[in-house]
Amino acid sequence: MKRRYLLAGTGAVGTALSLPAIAQGIRELRMVTDWPSNVPGTLDAAVQLAEAIQAATNGRLRIDVSAAGAVVRPFETLDAVAAGLADMYHSAEYYFESKSPGFTFFAAVPFGLTAQEHFAWVRYGGGQALWDSLSAEYGIKPILCGSTGSQMGGWFTSEITSAAGFRGLRYRMPGLGGEVLRRMDAAVVTVAGGEIRPALRSGALDASEWVGPWADMALGLHEVANYYYYPGFHEPGTALTLGINKAVWESFSPSDRRLIEGIAAGEFSRSLAEFNANNAVWLRRLRDAGTVQVRRFDDELLRTMLRQSREVVAEAGERDSHARLIAESHRAFQASIRDWSDVAERAFLNARGLD
């Protein structure tokens, strides 16, 4: 990537932060992320969020954005922000499920909510209050700030024709989706995005998901795996999070808090549109190249995944008091919105496909 990710403290920006500027109320903040620097979409989303906040505050709030591993190790971003080593993180909450499975409901749930349904649940279905309560225990204020949209099922070095094909398969998948595959006897691991390609090439992994064609091909996954399966049962609309140290959040004026929340909501829509537009372009390029077979998981395999997913999600919702309340809310909202989604989105897409 050519983009400069440090937005403050270097070059002309660093020169601008003279003593008179600091006296005028300019505040520098550090954002850590779980995104590698060599793929588009996720780290770009963090940078654009930071740039939007800086522009909207006329430069009063300036945010340094760091790629995964530059300041803290991948998946330790929440801990770093909670400890005050950074002011905020940009990540996906399923990376923190070891603290509570409740976190993963705010990223993606197997056979769960789509991106727009997820946004509706958090903003208008009671999700935000439950998320605030969970995150407050770790000193974090969480805000939705992005979405990758629907993801792909993953890259495989060999053909998958049935559930039996997952036995012993070394598969990279985070969150509850990973637990689903464990119950199908896969050997599931979580590695950082930048480690996926060499692991597939060396044989340390047999399969891996990441995001979709745009980001996956930037990682070069199409060069080390011959099969690309869909749908991504595990991540139907993955949400990205801006997590802010609670003391830092409370130090902002009410107007700045409202501004940050509004910008984050706008970035959710913008990033979703960006992923959808670019995934369409790169899927076509992949098909045209003809070197990778793009395949759909068959219905019987998907039914197996669905049965396992229901068990996994239900059990995750019983592991602690926060997870219980979050899972109940998530389940009730999905049940309530399903009819409308079928009548509106699914019916229209089916009709559009009649040509």
Q: What is the pLDDT of residues 60-82, one digit of tens each?
A: 999 999 999 999 999 999 999 99
For residue 25, the model assigns a pLDDT of 84
Assign 130 to helix, strand or coil: helix
* Position 1 confidence tier, pLDDT thresholds 50, 70, 90: very low
For residue 8, the model assigns a pLDDT of 37
Mean pLDDT of 314-337: 97
For residue 24, the model assigns a pLDDT of 64
Mean pLDDT of 96-100: 95
For residue 99, the model assigns a pLDDT of 96
Q: Where are the alpha helices (DSSP H) in the chain?
A: 11-16, 19-23, 42-56, 77-82, 115-124, 127-136, 175-182, 196-202, 213-218, 246-251, 254-289, 299-316, 321-341, 347-352
* Position 191 confidence tier, pLDDT thresholds 50, 70, 90: confident
- Name which of 76, 103, 113, 96 is nearest 238 in CA terms: 113
Mean pLDDT of 256-263: 98
- Is the pLDDT at 20 greater than 90, yes or no? no
For residue 45, the model assigns a pLDDT of 97
Q: How far apart are CA 41 and CA 73, in angstroms?
A: 20
pLDDT in tens, 146-190: 999 999 999 999 999 999 999 999 999 988 999 999 999 999 998
- Is the pLDDT at 5 greater than 80, yes or no? no
Average pLDDT over the chain, rounded to an integer: 92
Please tell me the number of Cα atoms within 13 Å of 338 on its side-chain side. Answer: 9
pTM as predicted: 0.89
The correct CATH number of 11-146+239-277 out of 3.40.50.1820, 3.60.15.10, 3.40.50.300, 3.40.190.170 is 3.40.190.170
Q: For residue 143, what are the CA distances in angstroms to 130, 241, 263?
A: 12, 6, 10
